[in-house]
Structure 1
Amino acid sequence: MPAAADTNPPDYLTLMKAQEMWKVADGSGITVAVVDSGFKKVPGVRSESVLPGVSVMSPPIKEPDKKYPPHDDVDGHGTTMTAAIVGDGSGGAPKGLAPGAKVMPVRTSLGTPMAFAAGAEGAKGIRYAADNGAKIINLSWGDYYAFERLKPAVQYAQSKGALVFAAMGNEGEGNNANNLLAMLPGVIGVGAIDETGEPLDLSSHGPNTDLASYGSKARIRCKENRGWCVAVGGTSYATALASASAALVWSAHPDWTANQVARVLIETAGGPVDGAKRNDWIGYGIARPSWVLLKKAGNPGAPDVDPLAPAPTNAPAPAPAPSQTAAAAPAEAAAAEAGLPWQWPALGAVVAAGLGLAGTLIVKRRRR
């Protein structure tokens, strides 16, 4: 990772017309929960922009009473996401896209030797955020092993009116493993683009990609949270910007619901250049909150209808054709329907069987 914090990354805020948007709304009145590795007080993020938050880190077995402060972050990932949303641009930090919003840090074991516990901790953190006023929940990570605990936590947050964003993952150049959280109905799966609007090769992609935002070179915390560096932010950073975009829209329209905020972001997104409604790299397009705030574009629509839900149909579903392979390969069939690469569900089937989770992979809404 480069150590030169004075290397200027592309100014995506100018491209997004941030200065003009802030004259209309800056995120004030909106709380974004960043469920991540915590937050460390650093130059570039004002204390008043960050709420007390909570730590859900599990204590060591030998120290069951050990407590961890939410305002600490040994890794820097959560601090970076916080700055991308509410940073003040000083000290080498990025200027946040929604500087008037408040971030609620929810600290998990991400970035520590106990990271394997982060998924279950994150489920607790999501519920805490929903119960304590978070309108938007930013999940710039995923965890297969804890999916069965994360799923009901996300659904609980949605029942409380929260809008959830999840990073698609940074496996686009490898096995293209997608974040399972992005499959859940109502969750906005976020891919990453560069300053020209082209998808990053590293961005995981598939039918559960809903929006995209900038994730190329940006100011992020250096290794072990030691100062600001410039490096590729990936889908984590893109998700923070998508959450900030929602905060701007919601700040301007505080009477809207999560579904309505999501709907206008989808309707006003910069779609695929070939005219397609969506594609697997950027979903419905690049988030453009300026179209909502400055051009008054987008129809919020019904407050209680998921904009990503399949259109209702009165036609009965056709009976599935008999197949000799369907019974023999349920995991592969579910994976094909979900649009996952072969390598990921094949591995997942082994893990699921071991955990008693076989047959419970969740398929996000089908799109026709």
Structure 2
Amino acid sequence: MPAAADTAPPDYLTAMKAQEMWKVADGSGITVAVVDSGFKEVPGVRSESVLPGESMMEPPIEHPDQPYPPHDDFDGHGTTMTAAIVGDGTGGAPKGLAPGAKIMPVRTSLGTPMAFAAGAEGARGIRYAADHGAKIINLSWGDYYSFEKLKSAVKYAQSKGALVFAAMGNEGEGNNANNLTAMVSGVIGVGAVDETGMPLKLSSHGPDTDLAAYGSKARIRCKENTSWCVSDGGTSYATALASASAALVWSAHPDWTANQVARVLIETAGGAEGYKRTDWIGYGAARPRKVLLEKAGNPGAPDVDPLDAPAPTNTPAPAPSQTAAASAEAAAVEAGLPWQWLALGAAVAAGLGLAGTLVVKRRRS
């Protein structure tokens, strides 16, 4: 991958009118839990933007005293997600979409040889985040084997008032395996689009896709988390930007509930022209500026899940290769910067599975 200094990814912040939005709200007062591979203090992310957090990693039997602090990250995935939300744009890092928010790093074994434990660790991490004030929980990964634990943990977090975002996965060009966590009622499943607003070929898609965000070229941690590079991102980074979009909206409307924040994001999303909802981008790319700058979106009832209504007729989605144009605003990078779907290790199928076998999400669990 080329060094970030040699390549400039699309400026999605300008397209999203971030500078104007930050005059209204910048995410202040909102804590986003990034349940991931941890966070490493690197150029581009101010230490005051990141809370102490917690690590769910268990020490190996042969080294029972081995510590795994939350402020460390072997892989760089969690650090990238953190920067996408609160980065300061220096040192090759991306500028975060919600720079005033606080990140709660919750470290799991993602990106390590012990990645098979990440699902169960992540479930504990979700509960920890919900118990310690996280309003938004970002899951830029998936796991099949611990799905029931993750499902239970997500339900618990929702009962505490948290809004959960989950990446759909990066298997769109293969078996289209979807992240099972995205199927849980109330979870916002996030797909990825390119700079024209069309869905990325790599983006996993299906009835659980609710929103989308930019997922093409992005600034990510690379070379074993030693530098910033530019590479395709996918749904991981897109999910971080969807979480950041929610942080902006919630910061401007602190009295709203998770359901109300989710509802206005869905109502103001920019979908492909002529389509109400598609399996590729859900209701469209997240556009927080519509809420902050144009006062669009009706928050509705505080205790009603906006995705719990009968499923709308699912219009076939435009595939990436088709020319069904995305609406002018819909897409134009109104989502977020992606990162590669994290490989969970040889022992785990990257946390994905059972694509195409799940029924419409809002009627399940």
* TM-score, shorter chain, exceeding 0.5: yes
Give distance in 2, aligned partners of 1:187 and 1:164.
5
| SS state at 1:225 partner | coil
Report the alpha carbon displacement of residue 344 of structure 1 after superposing the two structures with TM.
4.6
Residues 132-169 of structure 1 show CA distances to partners (whole Å, capped at 9, x for unaligned) of 00000000000001101111000000000000000000
- Show the counterpart of 2:298: 299
| SS state at 1:185 partner | coil
- Show the counterpart of 2:339: none
5 Å-filtered alignment, 1:62-211, equals 62-211=62-211
Report the alpha carbon displacement of residue 347 of structure 1 after superposing the two structures with TM.
12
5 Å-filtered alignment, 1:269-288, equals 269-273=269-273, 275-288=274-287
Contact 1:215-1:238 at 8 Å conserved across structures: yes
1:345 aligns to 2:354 (yes or no): yes
Which amino acid is 2:300 matched to? G
Give distance in 2, aligned partners of 1:155 and 1:115.
23
| SS state at 1:143 partner | coil
Contact 2:144-2:353 at 8 Å conserved across structures: no
Stretches of structure 2 that go unaligned for 5 or more consecutive residues are: 312-351
| SS state at 2:120 partner | helix
Residues 319-353 of structure 1 show CA distances to partners (whole Å, capped at 9, x for unaligned) of xxxxxxxxxxxxxxxxxxxxxxxx953999xxxxx
Give distance in 2, aligned partners of 1:207 and 1:301.
23
1:247 aligns to 2:247 (yes or no): yes
**Match for residue 361 of structure 2 among 361, 364, 367:** 364
Report the alpha carbon displacement of residue 363 of structure 1 after superposing the two structures with TM.
5.7
1:218 aligns to 2:227 (yes or no): no
Stretches of structure 1 that go unaligned for 5 or more consecutive residues are: 313-342, 349-360
Residues 163-189 of structure 1 show CA distances to partners (whole Å, capped at 9, x for unaligned) of 000000000000000000000000000
Contact 1:33-1:105 at 8 Å conserved across structures: yes
Which amino acid is 1:164 matched to? V
| SS state at 1:345 partner | coil
Which amino acid is 1:288 matched to? R
Which amino acid is 1:153 matched to? A
Contact 1:140-1:235 at 8 Å conserved across structures: yes
- Show the counterpart of 1:237: 237
Report the alpha carbon displacement of residue 58 of structure 1 after superposing the two structures with TM.
1.5
Q: 1:271 to 1:347 in 2, by over 3 A?
A: closer
Report the alpha carbon displacement of residue 248 of structure 1 after superposing the two structures with TM.
0.1
Q: 1:4 to 1:14 in 2, by over 3 A?
A: closer
Give distance in 2, aligned partners of 1:217 and 1:345.
28
Report the alpha carbon displacement of residue 97 of structure 1 after superposing the two structures with TM.
0.1
Give distance in 2, aligned partners of 1:346 and 1:75.
26
Q: Which runs of 4+ in 1 moved over 4 A?
A: none
Contact 1:58-1:117 at 8 Å conserved across structures: no
| SS state at 1:242 partner | helix
Give distance in 2, aligned partners of 1:234 and 1:89.
20
Which amino acid is 1:119 matched to? G
Q: 1:135 to 1:347 in 2, by over 3 A?
A: closer
| SS state at 2:130 partner | helix
Larger Rg over CA atoms: 1
Q: Percent same amino acid among aligned pairs?
A: 85
More helix by share: 1
Contact 1:184-1:362 at 8 Å conserved across structures: no
Give distance in 1, aligned partners of 2:32 and 2:223.
25
Report the alpha carbon displacement of residue 65 of structure 1 after superposing the two structures with TM.
3.4
Q: 1:189 to 1:346 in 2, by over 3 A?
A: closer
Contact 2:7-2:230 at 8 Å conserved across structures: yes
- Show the counterpart of 2:338: none
Contact 1:184-1:363 at 8 Å conserved across structures: no
Give distance in 2, aligned partners of 1:135 and 1:178.
25
Give distance in 2, aligned partners of 1:108 and 1:16.
32
Give distance in 2, aligned partners of 1:277 and 1:366.
19
Residues 109-154 of structure 1 show CA distances to partners (whole Å, capped at 9, x for unaligned) of 0001111100000001000000000000000000001101111000
1:16 aligns to 2:44 (yes or no): no
| SS state at 1:174 partner | coil
Which amino acid is 2:291 matched to? V
Give distance in 1, aligned partners of 2:206 and 2:79.
28
| SS state at 2:6 partner | coil
Give distance in 2, aligned partners of 1:306 and 1:79.
31
- Show the counterpart of 1:334: none
Report the alpha carbon displacement of residue 3 of structure 1 after superposing the two structures with TM.
3.2
Q: CA RMSD in A?
A: 1.8
Larger RCO (CA under 8 A, 6+ residues apart): 2
| SS state at 2:290 partner | helix
1:258 aligns to 2:266 (yes or no): no
- Show the counterpart of 2:332: none
| SS state at 2:13 partner | helix
| SS state at 1:94 partner | coil
Number of equivalences: 324
